[in-house]
Structure 1
Amino acid sequence: MRKLLLILTLALLSQTPVIGFHIVGGEIELIHISGNKYQLHLIQYFDKAQIDNPGPDPSVEIYIFRNSDHTLVQTHVLLLDTELIVPYTNPDCAIGSLQTSRVLYSADISLNADTYNEIEGYYASWERCCRNTNISNIVNPGGQGITYTLDFPAVVRNGKPFINSSPQLFPPLSDYACVNQTYYTNFAGTDPDGDSIAYSLQLPYNSSSQAALPIPQPKPFIELIYANGSNINNIIPGSPSLQITPSGYLTVTPTATGLYVFSVLVEEYRNKEKIGELRRDFQMLVIDGCEPPTPPHAEVRLPGEKDYYIEGEVIHYSASADKCFEYMVVDQAGENVTFKAEGVNFDEDVSEVFEFSSGPINPSGDTLRVEVCISDCPYIQHEPYIIDLIASDNACPLPQRDTVRMTINVEAPVNNKPYFDSPSSSIRLSRTQPEGLSVALDELLIGKDAEDSLHYFFYAEGYDPINYGMSLDTILDVLGEKQVKFNWNTSCQTYPFGDKNTFELGIVLEDYDTCLFDSGDTLFYDLEVVLPPNTTPQISGPSSTYTKSIRSNLDFNVMATDDDNDPISLTAIGDSFSFPQVGISFANQKGTGQVSSLFAWELSCENLNIEETTTFTLYFMAEDDDYCQATNNDTLAVTIQVQVPANTTPAFEIEDFYSLQINKPFELEVIARDGDNADLLTLDLLSPNSAPSSESFSFSRATGTNTVSSTLNWTPECSLLGEGNTPKTYPVDFLVFDDNCPQFESASLTVNFEISELDVDYGHFLPPNAFSPNNDGHNDTYTLTHLEEEMHNLPPDNCADQFQSIIIFDRNGSTIFKSTNREFEWTGDGADVGVYFYQIEYQNTNYKGTLTLVR
């Protein structure tokens, strides 16, 4: 029947859509190795049945953030380490469409105390897109991704290492669930540090984008969007729906087929304080068409009884009675039944009560009978204990079970309690011993018992007496009596009495009775080692508060003294920052009786990287090393407020528009000022492209304190005009910025320069008509430029009419002088006194006249 049902189930599954993506769940782990060394793991549960999907990625990258401000601290690349198939509870129940492997990525990392010291802790995250397209309980599953997270504590607390590894979860089983059948599994894990773990259901996290490998983002994370009717109380529809106990036992009786995704939150506690958490994502496949299971039926019949045992009745056994009975199981023929015993109100292993661990139901379907024998020693003294006798078959997809819960009261064998004969245990003893002695407390401890051998041991909370020089040395050991001496070495050079010098101690006398019950006697001591006097070192020098401006310096001397002249150490640390990180110079020092060190801080922008007033707290610590290794210290907290003053933005003192004419020199002093008198200003063009394409444009970068200026010189060329020599505007971008760190301020100004044609009055030109080259220093040459009277100078060139030449000729028409340079000078050399003629030519304008040469 089982094989026929499996074939039918596979046929049904072959008609369902293929799962669209290969990752079905996973989590992040952080495992402490030694010191600051850790292993960082990312575990993926990989869908091996989807042959069209790629294999696991060769590596993943995990991001670590601070919880306090969600700032990225580090990233780590983890390489693919191993891939192992996750087994079914019953391999005979395997189906081809459900096969899961456990893929492990790993990297060795360092979590340094200078970096990972914030009390709020840190979190690691990794993202992936996308989820299986046929997930039933979320909207648009192909468009929703995956985020795995792990919260972990700082690696130091109160200046001491805080060692912690995250919980390690068991691999989930490759099992499927069936409609209207109870699914169960132990989803719990273990904690390497012995921390407490609590489990709860949560909605899984989505990825931050639909990229294949999104860059992990800080908190808050985005939850998946669940489909109608699905929520945290109904992740998998069922009666009951999916739920998990605080101890990690997962159950559901589903009422609908589908593929369902869920997340289990795993919270880690130490001394009732939550120190971390992780999430495991996983998927559950629910199918229909499973054979309705027939669970086994178990009964117990006591010897000599006709009726079966009724749960709740208490079975009483005397110490000498035979404690065996018959355990009977009825199930389908051919089933193999396994047996297991579990304590209900006690924690001991009780697997030995079954003589056989498993047995078959024969083809005739006969009742399977197994003898069960209970221990002669009760698991709980003086009251009944409860034990579950469980029968499990090999049904698919999960074993079906039946349990007989029995309440049993076993009379313990008679045992006389041991007792102290000397000294009397009814007296609480107090002993004070000077440091440095090795003594026997209470000459002899004598313990007695009527019939058993004896042994002694220490009882102490929070310390090991052996580590403080305490020992029990045997003097006599015979049946019924044992004598020991309680010796104590109080040398503080050998034992750490400087850390602890008072002790509450119990010395327990116990017998070796048949059942090894706790039936001893205890002798209680209050002990103290009197240590030599030791004064606490004192710190002096710095004030408790300082207020400094950024870009200043802070220096002071720190001194520690010890009146006992003990060796002394002087150290300092920053609260959530390291000294080198912010540019602080301070050397830890050691000395005898007195030690000092210089604290120096250059409060530069480069060192601090702050943009607003910020408070820094640092601690100076002095600790002496006295004879008894006592921990005596002094701590001085210093608070330094680094002020970042407001910064005034520099401003330009020029207009934003100027008119220029072609060939006419233009000069502009560009000025900018700053209200902060100490700021160094820099003035420049905003970019090299800010200068127009003109050979005559000239402007240089300049600097100045409070005020800065630089001169712009420009004689525009005709090429700068628009089409048809029309005016054209050129924007020029200027920039001024200050050096007032950390908040640098700047300003820019766009100045528009309109370039237009030069307006020339050619009729205003009246050339001089005589000159006297007689070397008397007056009118010795004939020129038409740089003359005192403006009308005597050549008209300026514009783009439409420019100077071409000047020709001077005599009455016969012979050329005496010619020049194409408007800066010409005619000296009259070789020319006679008399009247000459000139002709001045522009492109479009000509001038003619006479010129008299006088000697």
Structure 2
Amino acid sequence: MTLFYWIFTTLCRPLPTPTARRSGRWLGLLALLFLYLPAAHATHIVGGEMDLQYVSGNTYQLTLNLYFDAINGSPGALDASLTAGIFDKATNQRLTSVLLPLVSNTFVNYSNPACTVGSLSTRQLIYRNTVELSPATYAASQGYYASVERCCRNLSISNIVAPGDAAQAFYLEFPAVVRRGQTFRDSTPRIFPPLADYACLGELFTYDFGGQDPDGDSLVYDMVTPLNGHTTPTNPTLPSQLSAPYQLIRWRDTIGTYQINTLAQIPGAPTLTVGARTGRLSVRPMKKGLFVFGVRCQEFRKGEKIGETRRDFQLQVLTCPKNAAPSLVLLPNPTGNVAYRPGRDTLRIVPGGPHCVRLRFTDPDNSSQLSLSLRAVNYSGPLPTFTTATSGTVHAAGQPDTLTANLCFPECTNTKGGVGRIDVLVSDNGCALPKRDTVHIAFIALPTPNVLPTLVSTAGPTLPLHVRPGQTLAFDLIATDLDSDPLLFTLTGSTGFAPDVLGAVLVPQAQVGTQRRARFTWPVDCRAITTPPGQVRQLLFMATSTTACGEKQQTPLLSIPVIIDYSNEPPVLTSTLPPVAAGTTDPPLIRLPLGQRYTATLAGLDTDRDVLALTASGQGFDLAAAGMTFTAPAGPAGQAAGTFSWLPGCDAASVVAGKPQVLTVTFRLQETTCQPQPQTRTVRFEVVSPDTVEFTPPNLILPTSNNLANRVFTMASLPPDFCDTRFAGIKIFSRWGRVVYESGDRNFRWSGESTAGMYYYLLTYTSGRRYKGWVEVIQ
């Protein structure tokens, strides 16, 4: 036993007599107590747990919930921050330390504030910070754990050895952030309800101690021995956290005749247990005192354990005033004056019959405050309501010993042919937990009869309906409900057919009495054509009525088949253009001399009488810019005519890459229909150059000859001028390169030089074309 524990237990005995209080022994104990206060400051921990929540990216939020004894804990033991360590589970290597500042300090409320006792008050201290868990670091297959150690627990704990020296190691396991090469996100269980209540000696105590998992993982609970760790009263905190293994607290061997161990942490009949799936604590304690206990919550995903959270707490057991349970009975049932017998009778609630039962509830304890509540067992409809008092006080001055209330089922109660079951509960205001009595009610409820609605259309007796693109399909729908319930229409289509997407609309009118009409209109366009055309599609209509009880009743589907009629023969294009040569697919080539007009006519005919349009376009050039014209005035349905004309000019006579320019023109006959089949004709045009005469200039002159034709050098057969190819000039050179003659006249005449010999000439044209040659002068 520590010195502080001995002083504390001595001072907590009944106060001594006035003489003893004045004695030196009492004052000496007080002096020893104050001398020992620094160590006492640490006796404050009620319990707590940790959780780790995913935020985003690699960021997580680490939280420590520490529960602080607000009665015995000293303010000096309230830390402004604590430090957590994160360790590799396989190697126990510390990877990082996380400073957790205090972010919240609040009181934990009792379940029933009226049951508050002065010896039990708890604060919830929340320490929190973010931490980065990089995939490069946190990828070990066995996972990791986080811990925070702090000393010490309360001196008055009854079920462990040396409670004043006992510390706590808050412990949390979590998985790697990368598993099997894939990113793995996990948030550990959290939102464990804090325990502020106490238990009464000999009375059953239950409490929901379960947590929630943000990822929907499976949680399994069991009892474990709390961790003690490495801290001590003289070193209540650590500058940096130490790794596992952590020492366990030491259980007392026995308390009275009760053995104390992990599975029997609080003496009782039964001892303290926790629901493996629910996390619900249950104990009927048989010894007074303050008892510490440990619960482990293991987290599983797809059958594989991925983490665990350990939670330590303490429960105070007090001697409470005796509290008898209240009682509840049902008075005569709706069908007569026979008392309803729970477990044997079934209430029958029928249209026009009684819908209420009377309840009587009482409590043997004076001044008990009773309250009624309902709980559905296997019934999902609207619960009955209490039309009179749902709470009251019995056995108090001016109050009766019993209270009554009416429980009335709604007119719309409907068990749909089965048996509904609800529980009626009466609860008192006893401490630490209220006591209850429950009556199980089985009932069969029939709704008010309701006639199903009907639906017809004015679409006509001949089905399927036929309609072509460009036409509008229209008819009326008539829905009837003999109960005058509100009616709504719906429109759908058979598989792969959505009429509303294709422009169909259903416009309802105002309901008049039992009837409501709606107008269906569908302007059919090309989108409605099926592939292949002519397939039957179903327009599906339904009317739904809503009864006074909110139940929906639907008519059978009204199916109206419809066929979109569509066929199309390609139009025929004829013309005076030359046909494609046999054995080739190349467009015909029309060669025209400069200045000679060319004219062609084209005609189109369509047996479906679709509107036709004739057009012409140049390949890489504009028709008008090239001097071409095409006129195609509008004609009657199914007919078209057009005229093409061209007077070739020099613009079309240019030479490209040494070859005459070729102009390609395409004529197109287009029909206005849903699935057009255009017809085309393509021709090529080339301007013929007149430079087709072989050019053979003379190469000998005799200036002294009697033959006048040979006395001068001239070229009567020069290539003719054509568009931009015109004669520019001639130069005659001596054998040494000296210009001896030059002229820009295409009718030039050179009489030679006084010196016989070889001379060379150069003819140039404006297009850049050049001719070279020689001529010999003989004297």
For residue 212 of structure 1, what is the aligned residue in structure 2? 236
- C-alpha separation in 2, matches of 1:282 and 1:165: 23
Which string of whole-angstrom CA distances, capped at 9 and with x for unpartnered residues, describes residues 740-796 of structure 1? Answer: xxxxxxxxxxxxxxxxxxxxxxxxxxxxxxxxxxxxxxxxxxxxxxxxxxxxxxxxx
Q: Name the larger-Rg structure.
A: 2
For residue 196 of structure 2, what is the aligned residue in structure 1? 174
Amino acid in structure 1 at the alignment position of 2:76: P
For residue 77 of structure 1, what is the aligned residue in structure 2? 99
| Offset, 1:195 | 4.2
Amino acid in structure 2 at the alignment position of 1:31: Q
Identity level (%): 32
- C-alpha separation in 1, matches of 2:75 and 2:55: 35
- C-alpha separation in 1, matches of 2:455 and 2:184: 42
1:244 lines up with 2:274 in the alignment: yes
For residue 27 of structure 1, what is the aligned residue in structure 2? 49
Over 3 Å counting, the alpha-carbon distance change for 1:221 and 1:350 in structure 2 is: farther
Amino acid in structure 1 at the alignment position of 2:291: Y
- C-alpha separation in 1, matches of 2:305 and 2:480: 47
Over 3 Å counting, the alpha-carbon distance change for 1:250 and 1:510 in structure 2 is: farther
| Offset, 1:100 | 0.7
Amino acid in structure 1 at the alignment position of 2:270: P
Amino acid in structure 1 at the alignment position of 2:251: Y
For residue 356 of structure 2, what is the aligned residue in structure 1? 324
Which string of whole-angstrom CA distances, capped at 9 and with x for unpartnered residues, describes residues 209-244 of structure 1? Answer: 534225544455444332221123322111122122
Over 3 Å counting, the alpha-carbon distance change for 1:54 and 1:470 in structure 2 is: farther
| Offset, 1:143 | 3.5
Over 3 Å counting, the alpha-carbon distance change for 1:56 and 1:325 in structure 2 is: same
Which string of whole-angstrom CA distances, capped at 9 and with x for unpartnered residues, describes residues 441-476 of structure 1? Answer: xx99x9999666458899xxxxxxx9xx99999745
For residue 36 of structure 1, what is the aligned residue in structure 2? 58
Amino acid in structure 1 at the alignment position of 2:153: R
- C-alpha separation in 2, matches of 1:28 and 1:59: 15
C-alpha contact (below 8 Å) 1:21/1:53 kept by paired residues: no
Over 3 Å counting, the alpha-carbon distance change for 1:312 and 1:306 in structure 2 is: closer
Amino acid in structure 1 at the alignment position of 2:430: A
C-alpha contact (below 8 Å) 2:455/2:480 kept by paired residues: no
For residue 314 of structure 2, what is the aligned residue in structure 1? 283
Return the match for 2:76 from 46, 49, 54.
54
Which string of whole-angstrom CA distances, capped at 9 and with x for unpartnered residues, describes residues 469-513 of structure 1? Answer: 99999745678899999xxxxxxxxxxxxxxxxxxxxx9998645
- C-alpha separation in 2, matches of 1:48 and 1:95: 12
- C-alpha separation in 1, matches of 2:519 and 2:159: 72
- C-alpha separation in 1, matches of 2:93 and 2:556: 56
- C-alpha separation in 2, matches of 1:231 and 1:481: 77
- C-alpha separation in 1, matches of 2:179 and 2:193: 32
| Offset, 1:319 | 4.6
Return the match for 1:88 from 107, 110, 121.
110
For residue 371 of structure 2, what is the aligned residue in structure 1? 338
Which string of whole-angstrom CA distances, capped at 9 and with x for unpartnered residues, describes residues 334-391 of structure 1? Answer: 2222222122235778595576553322524431112222344458644223212121
For residue 252 of structure 2, what is the aligned residue in structure 1? 227
C-alpha contact (below 8 Å) 1:28/1:148 kept by paired residues: yes
Return the match for 1:266 from 289, 293, 297.
297
Amino acid in structure 1 at the alignment position of 2:267: P
Which string of whole-angstrom CA distances, capped at 9 and with x for unpartnered residues, describes residues 104-148 of structure 1? Answer: 111133333443445544322212223223322223333332122
C-alpha contact (below 8 Å) 1:47/1:101 kept by paired residues: yes
Over 3 Å counting, the alpha-carbon distance change for 1:27 and 1:72 in structure 2 is: same
Over 3 Å counting, the alpha-carbon distance change for 1:162 and 1:310 in structure 2 is: same
Return the match for 1:122 from 140, 144, 147.
144
1:295 lines up with 2:325 in the alignment: yes
Over 3 Å counting, the alpha-carbon distance change for 1:477 and 1:136 in structure 2 is: farther
Over 3 Å counting, the alpha-carbon distance change for 1:372 and 1:76 in structure 2 is: same
| Offset, 1:163 | 4.2
Amino acid in structure 2 at the alignment position of 1:359: G
Pairs within 5 Å for 1:422-433: none
Over 3 Å counting, the alpha-carbon distance change for 1:40 and 1:351 in structure 2 is: farther
- C-alpha separation in 2, matches of 1:22 and 1:111: 32
Amino acid in structure 2 at the alignment position of 1:385: G
Amino acid in structure 2 at the alignment position of 1:213: T
- C-alpha separation in 1, matches of 2:184 and 2:518: 43
Return the match for 1:358 from 391, 395, 401.
391
1:64 lines up with 2:86 in the alignment: yes
Over 3 Å counting, the alpha-carbon distance change for 1:351 and 1:415 in structure 2 is: closer
Return the match for 1:109 from 116, 122, 131.
131
1:255 lines up with 2:286 in the alignment: yes
C-alpha contact (below 8 Å) 1:19/1:133 kept by paired residues: no
Which string of whole-angstrom CA distances, capped at 9 and with x for unpartnered residues, describes residues 601-634 of structure 1? Answer: xxxxxxxxxxxxxxxxxxxxxxxxxxxxxxxxxx
C-alpha contact (below 8 Å) 1:19/1:134 kept by paired residues: no
Which string of whole-angstrom CA distances, capped at 9 and with x for unpartnered residues, describes residues 15-69 of structure 1? Answer: 5999982011101122333443332210111101115563411111112223454
Which string of whole-angstrom CA distances, capped at 9 and with x for unpartnered residues, describes residues 625-661 of structure 1? Answer: xxxxxxxxxxxxxxxxxxxxxxxxxxxxxxxxxxxxx
For residue 5 of structure 1, what is the aligned residue in structure 2? none
- C-alpha separation in 2, matches of 1:60 and 1:447: 75
| Offset, 1:192 | 3.5
- C-alpha separation in 1, matches of 2:57 and 2:177: 10
Over 3 Å counting, the alpha-carbon distance change for 1:67 and 1:14 in structure 2 is: same
| TM-score, normalisation: structure 2 | 0.51
Give the 3-state SS of the residue equivalent to 1:92 in structure 2: helix
- C-alpha separation in 2, matches of 1:38 and 1:298: 51
1:315 lines up with 2:339 in the alignment: no
Aligned residues: 463
C-alpha contact (below 8 Å) 1:117/1:156 kept by paired residues: yes
For residue 396 of structure 1, what is the aligned residue in structure 2? 431
Amino acid in structure 1 at the alignment position of 2:48: G
Over 3 Å counting, the alpha-carbon distance change for 1:140 and 1:168 in structure 2 is: same
Over 3 Å counting, the alpha-carbon distance change for 1:158 and 1:181 in structure 2 is: same
Over 3 Å counting, the alpha-carbon distance change for 1:115 and 1:372 in structure 2 is: farther
- Consecutive unaligned residues of structure 1, counting only runs of 5 or more, are 1-11, 423-442, 459-465, 486-506, 524-855
C-alpha contact (below 8 Å) 1:137/1:261 kept by paired residues: yes
- C-alpha separation in 1, matches of 2:142 and 2:555: 47
| TM-score, normalisation: structure 1 | 0.47
Return the match for 1:411 from 446, 457, 463.
446
Give the 3-state SS of the residue equivalent to 2:76 in structure 1: coil
Over 3 Å counting, the alpha-carbon distance change for 1:58 and 1:520 in structure 2 is: farther
Which stretch shows the higher mean deviation, 202-211 or 175-184?
202-211
Which stretch shows the higher mean deviation, 133-142 or 279-288?
133-142
For residue 144 of structure 1, what is the aligned residue in structure 2? 166
Over 3 Å counting, the alpha-carbon distance change for 1:475 and 1:396 in structure 2 is: same
Over 3 Å counting, the alpha-carbon distance change for 1:73 and 1:420 in structure 2 is: farther
- C-alpha separation in 1, matches of 2:213 and 2:283: 26
Over 3 Å counting, the alpha-carbon distance change for 1:107 and 1:142 in structure 2 is: same
For residue 637 of structure 2, what is the aligned residue in structure 1? none
Amino acid in structure 2 at the alignment position of 1:45: Y
C-alpha contact (below 8 Å) 1:23/1:46 kept by paired residues: yes
1:372 lines up with 2:402 in the alignment: no
Give the 3-state SS of the residue equivalent to 1:233 in structure 2: coil
Give the 3-state SS of the residue equivalent to 1:168 in structure 2: coil
| Offset, 1:522 | 12
- C-alpha separation in 1, matches of 2:184 and 2:215: 11
Give the 3-state SS of the residue equivalent to 1:54 in structure 2: helix
- C-alpha separation in 1, matches of 2:377 and 2:453: 31
Over 3 Å counting, the alpha-carbon distance change for 1:421 and 1:135 in structure 2 is: farther
- C-alpha separation in 1, matches of 2:272 and 2:478: 58
- C-alpha separation in 1, matches of 2:382 and 2:302: 27
